[in-house]
Amino acid sequence: MAETGRAPTPRFPSPSAGAGVHRSQDGARVPSPVRERDRVRGATPPEDPGPSPQPSPARERGRVAAFTGQSVNLRPYERRGIRQRFALLAAALVPLLLIPPKAQAAAEPPLSALTLVGPPAIVFKAGRDACDGADVPDAPARAFRDAAGAVVLFGMHYRIRALRGPDLDHLKLDCAVVLDSGEKPDPASYDDRSWITATWTEDGRHVAALLHHEYQANEHPGRCPAGSYMACWYNTITAAASADGGRSFARRNPPVVVAGAPFRQEVDQGRHRGFFNPSNIVADGRWRYVLVSTTGWDRPGSDQAAGLCLFRSEDPADPARWRAWTGTDFTAAFPDPYRKPVQPAVTCRPVGPFPGPVGAVVRHRGTGAWIAVFMAKAGEGFARSGFYWTSSRDLMAWDTPRLLLEGATLYDDPCGATAPLIAYPSLLDPAAQGRNFDDVGDRALLTFASLRVEGCTITSDRDLLRRPVVIRVWP
């Protein structure tokens, strides 16, 4: 039974945590919380969850205690200070509103409506389906069809395995590790901890993957005097590729950096830094797009605003070709600062009304509209905590977010949770026409994780769930 000894950390740190206020490229200040609250007035309520009572903290503790008696040991992640890490994370997630004025939501009326129409069903249950303690839902679900038409789905932890099956209704975890994390102390190797957070394939055999890579300097002696997770956190988007339909992935040597901060990990310690949490990749004609979060940074001649950067490429198989939107064109590149000195870079212009990473973005087949889902915390420009959706015609101007599913998320304080937290929303249509599940019809599955809490600890007792959603888009 594998034990890594290091605690799991949520893949959704806010782009603004610890960052201070960054100016947008046109020098305007970010919107105020009052203006942000005005934007989301009238958000639609979620479906009535029914008569089932919410579990009490005592019942939750009992369920977790029962869970840890299973044959699979999921407790090793709770060692070495996970309580402290999540307390630090919760404190760091307070200032979420760093969206430049040009990235605000478009005016009414709304472009789409999403409605939950059924109860949750379990896709994967850690205590029942895990191969070892590394198998917990820890990223939004990403799926594709391989060359034989079978479904491959990622969304697990940094010892990366895939769920496989003939379709989305019959998925089972494959215990073969497709890509492991080396936990190496050299930041230039980009092999500390990695998650597959986006995939793209044209033929089902050759698969390009974007990796959320965390260099956790606090875990490597002498690399970060601050010594705490968020203060030492240095994040980069890297790449891996598969030539066997996702059975195995390999990184290039030297590693390819898709998006990195223009400075090395020892710079600006004391706050988290870099690019993180790519959305899934979507197609529009000959182009492929992905939304990537950034913390932003201050550099003479190259101040980057925090928010969501829209990247574009003609060929995801060549990870060096991704470029971000600058406000006028797709020319911003963020290369590896360890390979050669990085000159002051052209920066990206953040898009959308997003307070943090986008869980997924899909295109509605009937109308061509884009729909994105994400999670947000109450009191930071959003009326209630939970999953929200927003829609767009061009991936840049998005309408007012609306509540899809209410519930405490990873942005909320786990100490006050009376029910499992929800996280990592994604939208998947079993009838998707594209091999990469980047399109939806009038029905889809909201796929997400449920994370149980014990006291103030977010445990490894997690389920991957799905709920049917009806989608309506106005022409």
For 221-247, what is each residue's pLDDT tens digit? 999 999 999 999 999 999 999 999 999
Question: Where residue 343 falls among pLDDT bands split at 50, 70, 90?
Answer: confident
Question: Where residue 180 falls among pLDDT bands split at 50, 70, 90?
Answer: very high
Over residues 459-474, the pLDDT tens digits come to 999 999 999 999 999 9
Question: Where residue 106 falls among pLDDT bands split at 50, 70, 90?
Answer: low
pLDDT of res. 13? 55
Q: Is the pLDDT of residue 271 over 70?
A: yes
Question: Where residue 105 falls among pLDDT bands split at 50, 70, 90?
Answer: low
Strand partners, 334: 259
Over residues 252-266, the pLDDT tens digits come to 999 999 999 999 999
pLDDT of res. 136? 95
Q: Is the pLDDT of residue 148 over 70?
A: yes
pLDDT of res. 18? 34
Mean pLDDT of the chain: 82
